[in-house]
Amino acid sequence: MSKNKFATAINCLDGRTQLPVNSWLKKNFHVDYVDTITEPGPEKILNLYEDKAVINGIKKRVKISLGKHGSKILAVVAHHDCAGNPVKKARHLHDLRLAIANINRWKLKAEIIGLWVDSKWKVNRI
């Protein structure tokens, strides 16, 4: 296990979200690094829970981050202007909450949080 502190983010593949989310996690959880797992519209994927191959891939990568890097925080990210989940904010937040509920069933040893990235690329915990 690494002596550096890690967090894990299940983030959108949209490059505009990476830096704000990583910076927010580093600042708010005092971590050195953020392992980033990307999918287009991850909150939708993890809410609908239909594509088992993609979900299993996400789960495998999360377990590597938690197991090998000792990450204790797992953030699921949704954002404004998402091409992978082009819906209104209220639907993003709905999907995000249900995604977190589904991930909680994985029985991980990590705190699971939801993050919303707004139109100014400001990160907000939900």
As a CATH number, domain 6-125 is: 3.40.1050.10
Write out the two tokens for 38.
Answer: 């990307």
First to last CA, the chain: 30
Domain residue ranges of the chain, discontinuous segments joined by +:
6-125
- DSSP letters of the chain? --SS-EEEEEE-S-HHHHHHHHHHHHHHHT-SEEEEEE-SSHHHHHHH---HHHHHHHHHHHHHHHHHH---EEEEEEETT-SSS---HHHHHHHHHHHHHHHHTT--SSEEEEEEE-TT--EEE-
Specify the pLDDT at position 75: 98
Is residue 80's pLDDT more than 60?
yes
Residue among 12, 80, 71, 81 nearest 46 (CA): 12
Specify the pLDDT at position 2: 55
Is residue 77's pLDDT more than 60?
yes
Q: Cα torsion for 13, 14, 15, 18, to the nearest 10°?
A: -70
Is residue 9's pLDDT more than 70?
yes
Average pLDDT over residues 95-100: 98
Specify the pLDDT at position 120: 98
pLDDT in tens, 112-125: 999 999 999 999 99
pTM: 0.96
Percentage of the chain modeled with pLDDT above 90 = 97
pLDDT in tens, 11-32: 999 999 999 999 999 999 999 9
pLDDT in tens, 35-44: 999 999 999 9
